Structure 1
Amino acid sequence: MADEETPGWARQLLAEVGDLKTSFEQRLDALNNSVKDIKKETRAIANRISNAEKRISDLEDGNACTSKSLKSLTEEVKNLQTKCINLEAQSKRNNLVILGLEEGQESGNPDKMIIDLLRHILELSDNDPVPEVERHHRSLLPRSTPPDPPRAYLVRMLRWSDRQKILGVVAKRKRLVWEGKPIRIFPDLPVEIKKKRAEYNDIRKRLRGTDIRYGLLYPARFIVTIEGVKHIYNNAAQATVDLQKRLPKIFD
């Protein structure tokens, strides 16, 4: 009787509500499962992030130690390089480098050639004693052929004072000629010092021909005397900036 008393539309509505409930329950179950999966993946991602943060922290700590060690090693290498350059400079303390000496001039009797050359440079007579030479030879490069310049000739004086005496005479002479060819004589220095000294070439070129006294101090400092006052510079950039202010007409 109850079914007969329930209208058809009510029964249909109840059936549709039941179907809708079933559909919602199925969707909620699927949503719950998705949420569980998301939570599981989130926990996994959180664990991976935590592990990554720990590894990054360890790497940063290790990098800090490595940077400290690298800085210490770099400083040590720099000090060792400086010591090596100084040792090389000391080993060449008595050496002279002669440029422009024609290939083959030392053939036959090289000892006589170098003695005659020193007599010529120092303007000594045949009876004057010649500074003692410990050894002398060409640079250990393949023999040059024209038009390439001749190889440098290396001379090691027995005494440092004789080496300085020769350099002093050379500094006063504007031009040296031997066997009809111009020659130049320099102290023998390590390559690193030569490069640093070469940085002053532009400044020296500007000062050449003026009445301003200038020169180089060991290892690679530049000294200029302006109005009786000496100015010493540790590098070419510093010298250029200061001399532009002091000598604007020359360094314009």
Structure 2
Amino acid sequence: TSPPPATLLPIGDILADIKSVFDILNNIATDTTNITAKVSDINSKLDSMDECLDEMENRISHLEDNKEGRAGKMANLDKKFMKAWDRIKDLENRSRRSNICIMVLPEVIEEGKPMEFLSKFLPEILDLPSGIEIERAHRSLAPCSKPSQRLRPIIMCLPKYQTRELILLKAREKQNIVWENHKLAFFQDLSKEVQQKRRAFLKGKQLPRDHGVKYSMAYQATLGVHHEGLLNTFQTLE
């Protein structure tokens, strides 16, 4: 038997199907156009991001270069500052070369006239010639000491360096200087930094002192030991 004849669709249905296909293709074309536009926008943004990253890398590189340059400048400035600071401290100590600190004198014993008091007191206590010339004298610049606190030292400035050396020599010779139950001490007027450096030699000075060997301290903190006609100097005890 032969197959039944094919059924022909109405022309209207065919046209409707064709129109539907064209509509789908148009939608696909529209979507493709939108996708292409979005991809183009994304590419544009990526290009912009690449430019930003390049600029950031350049800036970071520039900052790193500047940092290295500034680090070098800061190191140089630190060296200059420390050098200037050392000069300032040296000038400060040299300005005190003619000064002497007298420790443990009772407060207000000078009755507001320290120069007059010291000019009479020093010859008596140290067996010095009368008429010692004193340029100025005062208590250290701090509030008046309370009974439980350490007494403020008297600082006096002598116009002649030789007079200062004579007073310190007499004080060393006497060693134990007691006045009205107060054990007095005479020191050079030095900055805290130099005092700390010299304090490191306390044990080092004890050895020559115990053996009767002559020693001295040179500015700023150099220990000199005189032995068999030679002067041996030490910057540290190591």
Q: Same fold (TM over 0.5)?
A: yes
Question: Which residue of 2 is the match for residue 75 of structure 1?
Answer: 79
Question: Which residue of 1 is the match for residue 184 of structure 2?
Answer: 183
Alignment of 1:86 onto 2:87: no
Paired positions, count: 222
Alignment of 1:165 onto 2:166: yes
Larger Rg over CA atoms: 2
Query: TM-score of the superposition, structure 1-length normalised?
Result: 0.68
Q: Report % sequence identity.
A: 27
The one of 198, 202, 205 equivalent to 1:204 is 202
Query: TM-score of the superposition, structure 2-length normalised?
Result: 0.72
In structure 2, distance between residues paired with 1:26 and 1:221: 95
The one of 204, 217, 235 equivalent to 1:233 is 235
Question: Which residue of 1 is the match for residue 123 of structure 2?
Answer: 119
1:6-21 mapped onto 2 (5 Å cutoff) = none
Deviation track 1:144-169 (CA, whole Å, cap 9, x = no partner) reads 12011221101111200110121222
Does structure 2 conserve the Cα–Cα contact (< 8 Å) formed by 1:217 and 1:223?
yes
Letter of the 1:87 counterpart: L
Does structure 2 conserve the Cα–Cα contact (< 8 Å) formed by 1:94 and 1:157?
yes
Letter of the 2:118 counterpart: I
Letter of the 1:88 counterpart: E
How far the C-alpha of 1:208 sits from its partner, in A, is 2.6
Give secondary structure in 1 for the equivalent of 2:186: strand
- Cα gap change, 1:3/1:135 in structure 2, threshold over 3 Å: closer, same or farther? farther
Question: Which residue of 2 is the match for residue 147 of structure 1?
Answer: 148
In structure 1, distance between residues paired with 2:221 and 2:31: 85
Does structure 1 conserve the Cα–Cα contact (< 8 Å) formed by 2:119 and 2:130?
no
- Cα gap change, 1:59/1:163 in structure 2, threshold over 3 Å: closer, same or farther? same
Question: Which residue of 2 is the match for residue 137 of structure 1?
Answer: 138
Deviation track 1:83-137 (CA, whole Å, cap 9, x = no partner) reads 221222222121101110001210175444212332134323xxx3443111112
Letter of the 2:139 counterpart: R
Letter of the 1:53 counterpart: E
1:21-100 mapped onto 2 (5 Å cutoff) = 36=40, 39-100=43-104
Stretch deviating more after TM superposition (142-151 or 166-175): 166-175
Deviation track 1:155-184 (CA, whole Å, cap 9, x = no partner) reads 111200110121222233332212321111
Does structure 2 conserve the Cα–Cα contact (< 8 Å) formed by 1:215 and 1:222?
yes
Give secondary structure in 2 for the equivalent of 1:166: helix
Give secondary structure in 1 for the equivalent of 2:135: strand
Which runs of 5 or more residues in structure 1 are unaligned?
5-20, 243-252
CA RMSD of aligned residues (A): 4.0
Which runs of 5 or more residues in structure 2 are unaligned?
9-24
- Cα gap change, 1:30/1:216 in structure 2, threshold over 3 Å: closer, same or farther? farther
Deviation track 1:7-28 (CA, whole Å, cap 9, x = no partner) reads xxxxxxxxxxxxxx99x99998
Letter of the 1:66 counterpart: R
